[in-house]
Structure 1
């Protein structure tokens, strides 16, 4: 009788154990998200930090010669507030030391950059911003890369390794497309930044080449997005809209390189392009695999 009870107890415990997820399983399920965010959302948000770094620099350079423009002042202020808030969100939701270390580097550069953009717009600080903005851009881009690497670890557990159906690779490709589309937002702002940096009062030996490089990267990336396997009818529609806006610049490259656009016109073009690519990036974020 005693032996029968022991055997039944063992069977019962075994069945209960089968019903309760193991610690490893729970950890794997929890790690599928970037804290309170999805990893797709985290890639999108961290990518926006790149854009904001360029938007703040662009707005400052524009305000040097257009100090009474209310929209540019508002853009500079709101971009600063959003940049700081989003940096905190990315940091709070990360469980990866590399990501946190890279965010710390962003914060170090941001301290100096913030002082410059908070100053009354002037040529001396504008030149310092031209020198420093690429450092901030690189640091924010490194955070995006770390988030993508973090997602690779979160989306692989022991069972995935045993039964790899290719979905992990597709998931990584999607995040890379979100990243690519998000870079277009940044490049749209950087285009105007170096358009203003290429004017006589601020021009350096590198500003014209930088402007040309940005032009070529935007144009080349549009082609890559057009052939993405993740495109759907809505994304194709929005890509068409973005291309229409881009054609107004592409067909006037000589005008771009020779200060042929009015400053307010270039300022608006960059914001319109950014808005178009932001919509596209958001659509890629929601793609289901």
Structure 2
């Protein structure tokens, strides 16, 4: 009984733990990514309804977005930006019922459209958090965090094109995102605050980007479900790499804040 009580106390303590500014930019940045990953998972569920993995992924991402939003709303240091965060919440309240509703091509197209509005609101909030932090390191947290979103939007746009739920722009948007991803990865690689670990992760991500691009360009002999598996798998690795890089940049930002104090 005592052990259960202790676990409950630890759980509630972790839920109310204050976010640092580095944490906040990281978490708020994940919301951008989740808006695209949820949409991607929804489409994948429609393409392969027998694959329970995508259904679990969809539920997990929806739950994470909600938890992240609740934690950001508790952050006192970012209270001047509350109006912007409430806007994110309002867009989420429109997005969530569709994301958790019946899966169909019609609903996938609707969710894809709404995801753009949610992403825009989330991105606006992250940008204002970066300015509030007033640190050059905050920009790196923001940019690397955006790379996570791009990896998932790249995959989402490919799936929208594959399932024919887009308005004809998905493939064009995909290549635009690939170009931006490559450009910003180069920008991060040239940062003079990079540690050896960060640089190593960036170089690995460059390799995965090149591999994914071959699939989009038709250089792979794979087709159909197998190509979907390879592309989503590769962009997921890109996501994980950039998530670790973002955490490292966030830690550098928090270390700088402590040093200034």
TM-score (norm 1): 0.76
Partner of 1:47: 29
1:236-275 equivalent positions in 2, closer than 5 A: 236-255=199-218, 260=223, 262-275=227-240
Alpha-carbon distance in 2 for matches of 1:200, 1:43: 34
Partner of 1:175: 138
Alpha-carbon distance in 2 for matches of 1:123, 1:251: 27
8 A contact 1:189–1:274 mirrored in 2: yes
Partner of 1:211: 174
SS in 1 for 2:153: helix
Partner of 1:21: none
Instruction: Report how far residue 239 of structure 1 moved.
Output: 1.1
Alpha-carbon distance in 2 for matches of 1:66, 1:88: 32
8 A contact 1:62–1:263 mirrored in 2: no
Q: Render the CA deviation track for 1:210-245: whole Å, top value 9, x for unaligned.
A: 111111111111110110111011111111221121
Alpha-carbon distance in 2 for matches of 1:251, 1:122: 29
TM-score (norm 2): 0.84
Instruction: Report how far residue 200 of structure 1 moved.
Output: 5.3
Aligned residues: 236
Higher-Rg structure is: 1
1:1-289 equivalent positions in 2, closer than 5 A: 36-152=18-134, 172-199=135-162, 201-255=164-218, 260=223, 262-287=227-252, 288-289=255-256
Q: Where in structure 1 are there 5+ consecutive unaligned residues?
A: 1-34, 153-171
What's the C-alpha RMSD, in Å, of the aligned pairs?
A: 2.1
Alpha-carbon distance in 2 for matches of 1:209, 1:134: 15
8 A contact 2:109–2:166 mirrored in 1: no
8 A contact 1:98–1:146 mirrored in 2: no
Higher helix share: 2
Instruction: Report how far residue 98 of structure 1 moved.
Output: 4.6
Q: Render the CA deviation track for 1:248-286: whole Å, top value 9, x for unaligned.
A: 023444129xx9572222221221110011011111112
Alpha-carbon distance in 1 for matches of 2:203, 2:137: 20
Alpha-carbon distance in 2 for matches of 1:96, 1:183: 20
Q: Render the CA deviation track for 1:50-89: whole Å, top value 9, x for unaligned.
A: 1111100010011111112122111111111110011111
Q: Where in structure 2 are there 5+ consecutive unaligned residues?
A: 1-16, 257-261
